[in-house]
Structure 1
Amino acid sequence: MSGCMSSSDESDVSACNHEDQGDASPMEIPADDLATSDEDEEASNPPPTKKQKTLESKKPKTPSQIKKSTVKVGGKCSSTNCSKKALQGGHCFEHGGGYKCSEEGCTKQAKVRGKCVPHSGGNRCTQPDCTKLARLKGLCIAHGGANVCSFQNCTKTVQSKGKCIDHGGGKKCSKRGCHNQVVSDKLCFEHGGGN
C-alpha cells in the first residue's frame, strides 16, 4: 500500500483501496469485527440489576435527563398506590418525576427556570419576611397576590369567570354530584381523569 500513498493520481488511490480490501468499499468494516466489539462492550458494561434500576428511577432528575413521557403531565403518578399528580416522566416528584433543582446540592423540585423557588431569583413578595414568589401586584398568593373568588366571604383564588372551582369557576368533573376540577377526559382524579 505504500506504493499507493506516494501516487498523486486519484484513480490509482481508489484502485489501491480495492486491491487491499478486496471488493469492499474503503468505509466498510467486516461483520466479524463488529460482533467482537459489541461483545467486548457488553462484557465491560454488564446490564444493571433490577435493584439498580429501581434506585435510579427514584432519583429526582434534571431537565436534561428526562425524556418525553407517554403519560400526560397532570395525570396520576404511575407508581403503585400513589394518587399524587404526575409530572414529567409519569411519576410524582417523590417517585422520580419532574425536574430537580439545578443548584448543586439542592434536592427540591424545580419550579422556575430549572431551579426551586429559593434558588430561582425571580420577584419576591414585598411583604416583610416573606420569601415566596410574587404573583400579582408584587405579592404572593398568601398576601393577596391573586384574584379572589367573587362569591361572598370566599378567599379562594379565581379559576375562571371570577370564581373559584367550588363556586362555578373552571371546569368540573362530568360525574353527577362531583365538584372536583377536571384533569383530563372531562373527569377528575377520583373518577379516572389523568389515567
Structure 2
Amino acid sequence: MRQLVLGGVRSGKSRYAESLAKITGLPVIYIATARAGDDEMQARIQQHQAYRPADWVTLEVFDADLPKQLAKLMQQPKVILLDCLTLWLTQLLCEAPLSEALLEKVDGVLDELVEIVAAGGQAELIMVGNETGLGIMPIDALSRAFGDRAGLLHQRLAEVCEKVVLTVAGLPLVVKG
C-alpha cells in the first residue's frame, strides 16, 4: 500500500505516519530528508530521532538521488517511511540560484519520484509532507515555485496512493481510502 500523510507544522503528521509503520510488524526503513541548518532544526531532528524505535534503519537522503534510492527499496518487503517530501523539495529548490534550468531539473526529479511511487513494489510506502497551500500567495518567486511544486506533487502522489490522510491538531482525517 502507498500512503500519503499531509498536514501543517506540528499537526501530528509524522507521529501518525510512524504509528502506521509500527503497526505493520514489518522492518522499517526511515528515509529522513531534513538537514540541520541551525540549532532549532537540529533540536527538531533530535526529537524525531528519539521517538523512533531503535530497530528502524534510518537513511538520510537530501538530494535528487531520492527517487533512485526509493526505487531500489520498493522491491523489498518492508515499510518505507519517507519524512518529509516538502523539506526534500525545499533543498532541491535551494541547491542553486532560482532559474528556469533549476526548475526544469527539479520538475524532472519530481516526475521521476511520482513514476516510482506509481509503479509500486513489495514495500509498504508511507510518505509525509507539509500541506502548505492553505495560506496566502507568497510574494517572492522562490516561495511561489515551492508552493506550486509542492501542491502539484501532493496532487500527483495522492492520485497514485491508495490512502491519503490530512492531519489536523493531531487528528487524522482520511481524505482517500
TM-score, normalised on structure 1?
A: 0.20
Q: Which has the higher contact order (CA 8 A, sep 6+)?
A: 2
- Which has the larger share of strand? 2
TM-score, normalised on structure 2?
A: 0.21
- Which has the larger share of helix? 2
Structure whose alpha-carbon radius of gyration is higher:
1
